Structures are given as C-alpha cells and as structure tokens.
Chains A and B, each alone.
Chain A
C-alpha cells in the first residue's frame, strides 16, 4: 500500500502543462515541471480544487469500483445526502434508495441519518461551557486536512466526534450483524461519495484509528446505474421502507444544513476552500468571538458542490431542497432518549486527537533556515513579481522557495531567462567587436 495515499491524482497523458491548477490549489501543492504537473504529496489535502480547475481533465480522483462488492457477503450502500440531488426527475427518495438494492447491494443506510446523530452530539458539546468556542465542524475532511497544514493551532477547537460517514458505517454494520448473523468483517460498507477527500479519509482516518467504511465509490461512477435502477421494474417493490433520515439530516447535503441541524443559536456557515481560509485567518487572530459554531465546507455550496457529483451544484442544491420539502420525513427516527444514549455512551467520539501535519521547514536548524530565508527574500525581490506561473510555481514567492529547496533554478523564470539571454547576446556582440582580425598586426583597440 502507498504510505501516503491520495485520492487526487494526475494523468500525465492528459496534462498539457498549463498553469490553471497551480494557481487554484489552496495549499500550493502543485508544480509544473517539464511540461507536466506534479502534486507535492505532503501538501495535498485532496480537496479536489484542481479537478475543477483542469480544462483537460488530467486531474482525477481514485475511488473504488462496484466489483469490490464481491469481497463481502453482505453489502450496504451509504449514500451521502448530496447524492439525492443528482437526479433530474425528482424521483422519490425511497425509489433512489431501492435502486441500490437493484444494483446488488443488500441494504442501504443513509448517511443523513447518521448526520442527525452527529448534529445532536455536537449540539450537546456546545451546551458545555468548558468547550472552547467557536467549535468547528469536523465533518469535512478536506477542511480538517487544511487545518492540519495551515491552522494547526485551531485543531483543538474541532468537534471531537466522528464524521457522519463513519457513524453510518458503524451503525449499519451493527444492524446488519444482528439482522444477518454475518460477522463484522463479512459485511461490506460502501460510502457513495461526492468527495475525493473522503476516499483519503477512509484510508488514513484522522479522528479514529481505523475506518469502518470498506470502500468509497464516487457518485460519478455509480450515478448512471442508479438512475437506470430507478426505472427498472422488477421484483423489488417499495413495500420495504428504507428511508429513515429526516429533512434535517438530508439538508447536510448543502451548506447551512449542518448548522441548522446542530441548532446552536450563533452559528456561521462558510463554503469554498478559499473562503474557509480567509475565515480561519480571522479566527486565528482572535476575531469572531461572537460565534459558537462554525460549519466549514471545502466545496462551494457544500457537499452538493463536491467534485465527484455529476450535477451542477446550484441545480443539485435546488433539487435536493425540493426533494426534502416533498418527501422529507418529519418524524425523527431516533428519539431523544436514544440520542442522549449515543452521546453518553461516547461510541461516536473521536478516539484520536486531531494532529497537525508539519511541512518541511527551510532547514532543521533555525540559523540555517534564517540564512536560507534571507536568500529567499533576495531572490523574491529580484523576481518580476508578476505571479504569472510560467515557471511552474504558483507565485514568485513560491518559486523563490523552490529555488532555495533545489527543485527549480532561477532561469525557469521566463523574465529572468530573457535577461540572461540579453546579457549573453550583448556579451557576444562585445566579444565580436574586440576580436582582432587574423591578418592585422595591430589589434584594434577601443
């Protein structure tokens, strides 16, 4: 297995070496060298911004395929709330859920149902005066990964609870063990994902030692089959009721849904990774003391804007809203006592602390690092400051750092190269002027 698994990858065949992705990457994790983009793995947070930015579709997300179901005796689909907004004809939620059974899954467990449990746990955390505010949502793995790199000192303010995906997988397995008699390992759980960061999250979970999710299937991979399954008339009727999540859990599919469900008086919801960064900058400076809960979503619009979804985010949002209004169950599946039991039992609490991920400093030794930093400043000042990206680094400053770290040379900058060429050609001209003619006894002197 790859030590640092990343879902977001590059197809070198399709990459034309343009600079669209390097400029959009929120952690400056991409460089273009020798006409191809490369992802610096230690910086990548799998947010998928580059997938959206790439005009050549060279960036893609690795997810599992349906053939992985064969490895388990009993398979459960865990569709993300945003998945239900992907369909054009506003099918009944129940029909979409049943389509998973037609596709070969043995059961479906809505992640929205687990989201309602998570919201209740977070709500109870917020009632505790000792919990430092604002408390951050820990549901978006791309945001958590961003914080590990760029805002390490805010990590302790993330809600110490598992993601709805993780809670869904655990509950689904528990239920299935009781229902079928199969062992925990014989049951496969598959998250139907709008999000590449969730794929990475399952391989390298942040809040828990190991994930109960056995596979992550991209919404883009399964969408067509599910759409077909909705219309295929066969033996599986709608008599069995699969839909259990209420509109509250379903609304996690778009931004503000989570904070509404958490139901804290003073909540703020932000979506789009660059907006999240500006907001966290403010929080880090100690502003925003009048907010209790921060819902942070890496994708614009929330999960409906996920890079693996097939429908435009605004369209998806409207459809999901409409679906919720029409078919959303109003009666919560878990009653208040059951929710309190989940909270008290602590089975869905994060078991691992949210740890920072430190990027390589310029040097291990502070004195050496300072010397390199001085040089870095010098190089930056000498650069044109256009941030054009033609060198393959996202900005002049990042380029100077690449030079210091030895992964770029100064003449990778086209302006610098032009200056060098001019100097060289001037030198050649000068030389040509002073070269004595072979026949002359008195070389011409200037």
Chain B
C-alpha cells in the first residue's frame, strides 16, 4: 500500500514536470507549421534564383559532405520557401537531366538534411541553405540529387475552374563516394564528322563517350587538325565542362570553322536562326572567324587562332585533312587517362572550282580560237604570196 502511494506520488511528480512541457512543445510545433504553411495561396509572381549549378561533392564512406546553396526570391513580397529532394538521371546524350521522385530503395534520400528546410525569404535577399549528406559506411560510388526550391502554399488548391501553377527550381548535386570498387572509366564510343566531304568549313565533330564505370567523370581534350604535316586547326572538346554520368553515354559536339571562306550561323538578336527542319541557317562569310575574346575560360582553341595568320589565302581550305582526337579523364588516382582516335575528311570547294574551270575553259577556247584564226590568216597570206 505504501509502495502504491509512493508510485502515485512519483507519477504525480512526473506529471507535474512533464505536463507543462508537453503543451509548450506542441505549441512550438504548431507555430512552426503555421508559419510554414500559409492559409492563403501566394499571389505574387514567382521568381527564384539559385547558385551554384551543378554542385559536385566528393566524400568517403562513413563521412559527411556538405555544400551551401544560395537562393533568392524576387517576386516582390516576403515569401516562405521550402526545400525538397528529388533525384535525376541522364536523358539522351546531351547532358540533359531527367527528374524523378524518390523510388523504392532510394534510402540515400534519408542521408540528406538541410539546415533550413523551410525559411522566410525577404524580397531580393540571398539566403543560404546548407545541405549535408551523412554518408553511411555502406555507401559507394555515385548519387545524383536534385534539390528543389519552391514556395510554400503554391500547391494549395484553387477553385472555380482555375488551374493553380506552382513553380520551383532544381539544383543538381552529384556526389561521389570513394569506396573500394569505385571505377572512373570512360570508353570512346565514336569519333565522327558530320560530312566526310564538304564544300566549306565548318566541319562538325561528335565525340561520344560511354561511362562504363560507376562514378561520374568530366572529360576534356582537343581535336588537332592537320593537313600533311602541318597543324592547321585546334578544337576544344567539352569546353562547357560537362559530366558523363555513370552508366550513360554523352555526345560532345565540336566545330572547326577557322578557314576562308566559311559558313557561319545567321543570328537574330544574338540567337541562331533555325529553319523549318530545326537546323541552324547558315550563310557564307567571306572572311575569317575571330577568336572568342569574351570567354571567361582561356581556351587553347582561341589561343591557337590568335597565333594564326589572318591572311585569307593562307587559310583557304582545300584537300584532305586529318583530325586527331586526344581526350582525357581523371582516373581513381587523379591521373589523366588518354583516349585517341583519328579520322580524315575532305574540303572541296567544288562550286569555286567549277567557276575557275569554266573561266579556264573560256580563256582556253578563246586562245584556241585566236590561234586557229591566226593560223588561217597565215595560210591565206601564204596562198596569196604563192599566187603573186
């Protein structure tokens, strides 16, 4: 009985201590929820700016990796923003991502935390959200996250025959985990040229690389173009610093246009004009291309062009050319692994040649006619001389 009384007193004491705490905890949770989910749908236009993109993380099993993501909303009002997580993969061969929701077995979503899953974003003020990935010891190879920022309340239903529009911006995060068995390996699938024979430059090269490893890789390299033993051109491959995701193939395009004359893209307001078939419209330019001096990244291609003669005649392209591809990627130890391939192509300005040939024929015919006429007169003169 005495024990029961003691237990009762203990229960009462605990209840007195815990009792007041519980409502306070609930109150905080509800307050946070109320702040995060406005009762009304935001009406201001949504303008989100994020930086950087994409983000590359590298860590080891059992360690964590983190990155700061900056976001700014400029819709006009102070807004509540939220962070959510998706994944992405490669679609096609151009470096285009494909977003997907979390699937069964995607437990790597659980490794990710954000220091501010929802936050107040005043108009036009940069906010920093820290993303931390606590990688378990069992983790390995590559993980592809898409961190999506959106506005709280945008998914509240609208009525009366309207569609509600919610928006968001996704920051792609690629994480590699250096575990035993990690393999950085690319295979040169194809190295091709759009046309083996062309009338004028540019010539469009395509380098397709297959990532047969299990970690994403960023390749880089050049195409050296030569005629005989003389190098006449240099083209950079993957100047955009794109990645090849594990298990995917990516095609990199490169164009060599340094020649006289050359076809260049027709621009309207700075953009390529596209024909009905979706191809860029090009016109023949009777000059030489200029190196891109506005590029933020120093390009070996532009340096090479800067050193070349600006005399159009020395850059007249005619004959067989050899394109030698040398591309590298870093292996597991950071050493460059080279891949090489060579192809040949022809530049034959056939219409110019036909015009020249036609001129030669006309001139030759004229000379021949003049010669025959002169010979005819000689005969007449001789005949006349004999008669006399």
The answer on A and B forming one complex is no
Q: Identify the B interface with A (CB < 8 A).
A: none
